[in-house]
Amino acid sequence: MKDEEWLEFTNNIINYPATKSTEIGVLTDANLNKKYLSRKYLIDIGITCGFISLIPNPKKLLKVILRILEANEAKGRRKHVRVHCTNADTFNFRRNTVLYRGDLVDISSAGILCQLPDESAKLIPGMVLDSIQLKLQGVLSMASGTVYGTRKATENSLHYLIMFDRENMSDKTKSNILSYICRRQADFINEASEEDAQSAPEFGEMKDGGKLLDNKSNDELTQELIEELQMVDTELEEIDDILKAKGGNVKKADP
């Protein structure tokens, strides 16, 4: 959508009775109309979670986002890290002497989201499963848990949320789950890094309508980085000024 369409869309969310309490923040790569758009979103429309320009420097970008979150006291509600499982990660359990097998959708130290190809198990909220075997990257672990709820996956299938009985969970199972979560997080970071590396232009490669990216000296690259960081610091000051003008109590983040 175009800038004006996004503005109208956001304004409709804030002014619609059912969604007016929604806290909205904007992440954008817009540069030409940055000052105009920031004023429209922050002052005219009144979004409360900031107008953030995306920049190549991840650490500085994170600092900007954290500043906005801190100003809005957005601490989040999730207590457990959750990761998506692979197609090879499965589970099974016995009920009334029948063995049921299923696929893991995601997992945290608190529970699993799973899917059963055979709905004959007829799991309902509150049902206790005493013997759940998890297979996480080939490592087997035993657990027990309670069916907490369901959500629609497709027109003909459901996802089941099962919360672990952590009080009776063995230390080995806890360790296996934690190790799996750490490995999956590392896999995600590595995949993202590989994608960035593949999409990044090589030195000397054609870019921006034929302009060559020559091999630059360390001094030149350092100067570019300094200018980039100065631009972000200016944006931080602008955000603080705008939030103060709206009566917000902006807390300063540690440098």
Q: Which of 143, 76, 78, 83 is nearest to 113 (CA)?
A: 83
> Rounded to whole angstroms, how far apart are CA atoms 85 and 78?
18
What's the mean per-residue pLDDT of the chain? 76
Residues 88, 73 share a domain: no
Residues 156, 110 share a domain: yes
Residue 143 resides in a domain: yes
Residue 115 and residue 160 in contact, taking contact as beta carbons nearer than 8 Å: yes
Q: Which domain holds residue 160?
A: 83-178
Q: What is the tens place of the pLDDT at every residue in 72-126?
A: 655 565 567 788 899 999 999 998 888 999 999 999 999 999 999 877 778 899 9
Between residues 43 and 143, which one has the greater pLDDT? 143
Domain count, the chain: 2
Q: Give how far Cα 114 sits from Cα of 8, 118, 125, 147, Å.
A: 39, 12, 14, 11
Residues 98, 63 share a domain: no
Q: Give how far Cα 191 sits from Cα of 62, 115, 197, 199, Å.
A: 20, 25, 10, 12
> Rounded to whole angstroms, how far apart are CA atoms 108 and 180?
10
Residue 212 resides in a domain: no
Residues 97, 55 share a domain: no
Residues 237, 159 share a domain: no
Q: Full-prediction pTM beyond 0.85?
A: no
Q: What is the tens place of the pLDDT at every residue in 183-239?
A: 887 777 666 555 545 554 444 443 444 433 445 555 555 555 555 555 555 555 665
Residue 145 resides in a domain: yes
List alpha helices for the chain, DSSP H: 3-15, 34-39, 58-71, 171-199, 218-245
